[in-house]
Structure 1
């Protein structure tokens, strides 16, 4: 244990570093009435004496324990008034809310509590919400997650700070033990309430604190310190891996409508730790990420992406989302429509065509003289203007489409060209074809151009078409 109030000086120094303690600052202190949050409230009031800032005390009365809950609300109100601080409270009516919705009691209480706290923050234009979570809470959280099964992110425990919408949650006491906070309250005459439900072993956290932790401390008297240290190390590792995952997401993942596309070869080159996190990051974009982020779920997706056979597969991954693996391409996102049909008329006065169905674009340029595409650039094609018959069409494929590919004798089915190029089946209907006024397929962007309207030394005017996977 640190010397008396040394840790308080650390909190004040950290507050300056974190930027929430200054004269223009407005913070919401979530105060339940227990020793931890009441100690936090006293510390904040003493900080305001050194450097004034706005403190709003917010108390959520869950109404789980009747008169006891009401007494806690009155205790917090009176202490806030004694300290000369603004006070806001709300009766959440949790018993009736849980009966109506059937939601788990602890989940429902957290949901309604944070809804209230965000409202208070909005009312006072506060950017920071401070809570009284302490070191014992951290140790218990890590042990609970270990018991239930968790990854590195879970071992990081309760974060010291995090963003929730426009509000930043900060837990200034996270490295201070419960014992130190009780001593602080005693030395400074800080009143507090004792929640009778804290001895109810029906709640998992209480069972861990009252039974499991003391039993394990017989084998390691410094178990809490060990768990807190584990959380610190795991938190640092997790933060680093999150940065690497964001980088991999930007480099390896392509937005596709409301979903995402991955090139399987590049995905396989990543370390398996990044592969799992990348899948989780994508699933986190779904409407119900908690439902989607089950370990077995992630492993099933990972296996489908890594295995060599079958080369084409589809998984229903829940919440209306699918994984579609086709050759070396994979799509994760909302289920795709069965087919897409589009046709756009291109006139000589246009300079671009936006394909609304796919979010892609084909640009047009009329150039004087001879002009050819750069070698190896399959995203653009040049044609002799005098040999093109307008109106040109940009459309999706049709049954029986044929093409006379440049460099080959005779015609070939567009369908066969898609198969040879390993274009995913789900992508084929969305692929734009450039077709002339006679219905001849002139170009399949990224795959092949036809032998029609070739640019030669005698060409007087050239039409250049450039394909972009996103609108410019």
Structure 2
């Protein structure tokens, strides 16, 4: 595209877009931003908008002070307001990301303080192509492949990138035609940065294969952004249909049967949406390997219970037909609550831990429930047993049996499996024992046959178990 045609195309696309706007232009001093500023200056009289310049001195190069001085004088001569800042606390690592955050924070503050409606940056077609290539290299999430948005909300207005339809070569040709002065950043030639390697070594080969490669990637990005919007709308509806969120503690649950009724493509897209949403709400960080493990288990595992561990204690657990995603407190709970040795159960009852209380009383006597436990959920059972008996309690242990009838007993572990009791509930289970060490009650699940034997010298007892999360 000839230089004069570049301005004509720019004018055709944008002349009526910014009537009465106050525009802040981010200008580094490089060819891209200088071309953008020149185009806007030429268009401003007919476009009826106001211009100002924002510049950040990152203090990463010796030339940066001279460049800031030049831009300041240029704006003074052109009658443009000039807003500048200097980055004084440069970190020793992660410089590129930190610099961008500092830069855009300054732009946002300048817009808010001076009532600018638009911020314009000089990202162009080559930048968009490089960004897409970088994202293809780094990951496989669909929404990440969108390149650079031409317009998006920012601060109190919009961030606009009007040079995306143009290539770097077209911008350079325009600068030469208009005899514009600009600065070259020597760091742009360094192959230490991935973007520079793509710019110098990969993109030229692709353009050699097809000169319209940059334009095609721009079209791809636009269409993908539209497709992503449609996917997001559908996944939002699917999320609202499937997921039940609890806030205290934070937990996400869904019915597995309902989820598996959807097609495989919807399931695949759902998980990407689900984990991105959880990340935005909780700060939880997941890896592709963990997400792939979840998909693999759902597709191939016949186990009724499994779990996938994420960072910071987060777990996705299958518990029969429920999927539960939450921070795990199970290991800590087991360690704190496990009662190895059988302990006598006091007549007045006892707090097993901070969230559960247990008591056994003769049925004809009132049960004084502690105030703390009165609002908790209750599991209450009546049973017969000899008078003046003492009862003991402990955690369920490997090898425990419970008598189901006069001729049948079952391992408690097998009972849990048959009844599809989740792992967390198994860890919380208690057993009530007689003086002889026989299991009378599995709390809070069932009575043993031994607790209902019809001896003549028996009375009715009431077992009451209250728990905050029964």
**What are the ranges of 5 or more consecutive residues in structure 1 without an aligned counterpart?**
340-356, 358-390, 405-415, 431-472
- Is 2:256 the counterpart of 1:259? no
Match of 1:232 in 2: 222
State the distance in 2 between where 1:307 and 1:186 align: 62
Q: Secondary structure at the match of 2:25?
A: strand
Match of 1:62 in 2: 58
The one of 90, 96, 101 equivalent to 1:97 is 90
The one of 363, 367, 377 equivalent to 1:396 is 377
* Conservation of the 8 A alpha-carbon contact between 1:132 and 1:173: yes
Task: Using structure 2 for the length normalisation, give the TM-score.
Answer: 0.66
State the distance in 1 between where 2:22 and 2:96 align: 29
* Conservation of the 8 A alpha-carbon contact between 2:130 and 2:195: yes
Q: Secondary structure at the match of 1:319?
A: helix
CA separation of 1:253 and 1:83: change in aligned 2, threshold 3 A: farther
Q: Secondary structure at the match of 2:29?
A: coil
- What aligned pairs does 1:79-90 form with structure 2 within 5 A after superposition? 79-90=74-85
Q: Please give the per-residue CA displacement for 1:397-437, whole angstroms capped at 9, x wherever unaligned.
A: 45xx3399xxxxxxxxxxx999988675658999xxxxxxx
Match of 1:133 in 2: 123
State the distance in 2 between where 1:5 and 1:278 align: 44
CA separation of 1:307 and 1:5: change in aligned 2, threshold 3 A: same
CA radius of gyration, larger in: 2
State the distance in 2 between where 1:312 and 1:188 align: 69
State the distance in 1 between where 2:113 and 2:61 align: 28
CA separation of 1:262 and 1:280: change in aligned 2, threshold 3 A: same
- Is 2:136 the counterpart of 1:146? yes
State the distance in 1 between where 2:427 and 2:376 align: 9
State the distance in 1 between where 2:122 and 2:25 align: 8
The one of 312, 318, 322 equivalent to 2:315 is 322
**What are the ranges of 5 or more consecutive residues in structure 2 without an aligned counterpart?**
334-354, 356-370, 384-413, 429-470
State the distance in 2 between where 1:286 and 1:4 align: 42
State the distance in 2 between where 1:311 and 1:321 align: 20
Q: Secondary structure at the match of 2:119?
A: strand
C-alpha deviation, 1:70, in angstroms: 1.5
CA separation of 1:312 and 1:175: change in aligned 2, threshold 3 A: same
Q: Please give the per-residue CA displacement for 1:324-348, whole angstroms capped at 9, x wherever unaligned.
A: 2211212223345777xxxxxxxxx
- What aligned pairs does 1:327-366 form with structure 2 within 5 A after superposition? 327-335=320-328
Match of 2:19 in 1: 22
Match of 2:96 in 1: 106
State the distance in 1 between where 2:267 and 2:159 align: 29
State the distance in 2 between where 1:80 and 1:259 align: 55
State the distance in 1 between where 2:382 and 2:79 align: 82
CA separation of 1:197 and 1:252: change in aligned 2, threshold 3 A: same
* Conservation of the 8 A alpha-carbon contact between 1:241 and 1:274: no
Q: Please give the per-residue CA displacement for 1:312-368, whole angstroms capped at 9, x wherever unaligned.
A: 2232211342212211212223345777xxxxxxxxxxxxxxxxx9xxxxxxxxxxx
Match of 2:192 in 1: 202
State the distance in 2 between where 1:329 and 1:152 align: 27
Match of 2:411 in 1: none
State the distance in 2 between where 1:228 and 1:89 align: 32
C-alpha deviation, 1:167, in angstroms: 5.3
C-alpha deviation, 1:85, in angstroms: 2.2
C-alpha deviation, 1:202, in angstroms: 1.3
* Conservation of the 8 A alpha-carbon contact between 1:56 and 1:86: yes
C-alpha deviation, 1:134, in angstroms: 0.3
- What aligned pairs does 1:152-231 form with structure 2 within 5 A after superposition? 152-163=142-153, 168-231=158-221
Q: Secondary structure at the match of 1:78?
A: helix
Q: Please give the per-residue CA displacement for 1:292-327, whole angstroms capped at 9, x wherever unaligned.
A: 353223212333444553222232211342212211
State the distance in 2 between where 1:92 and 1:8 align: 33
CA separation of 1:167 and 1:246: change in aligned 2, threshold 3 A: farther
- Is 2:14 the counterpart of 1:12? yes
State the distance in 2 between where 1:69 and 1:113 align: 15
- What aligned pairs does 1:448-459 form with structure 2 within 5 A after superposition? none
* Conservation of the 8 A alpha-carbon contact between 1:7 and 1:176: no
Q: Secondary structure at the match of 2:90?
A: helix
Q: Secondary structure at the match of 1:126?
A: coil
State the distance in 2 between where 1:203 and 1:263 align: 46
Task: Using structure 1 for the length normalisation, give the TM-score.
Answer: 0.65
Match of 1:440 in 2: none
Q: Please give the per-residue CA displacement for 1:37-66, whole angstroms capped at 9, x wherever unaligned.
A: 122222333443224434332111111112
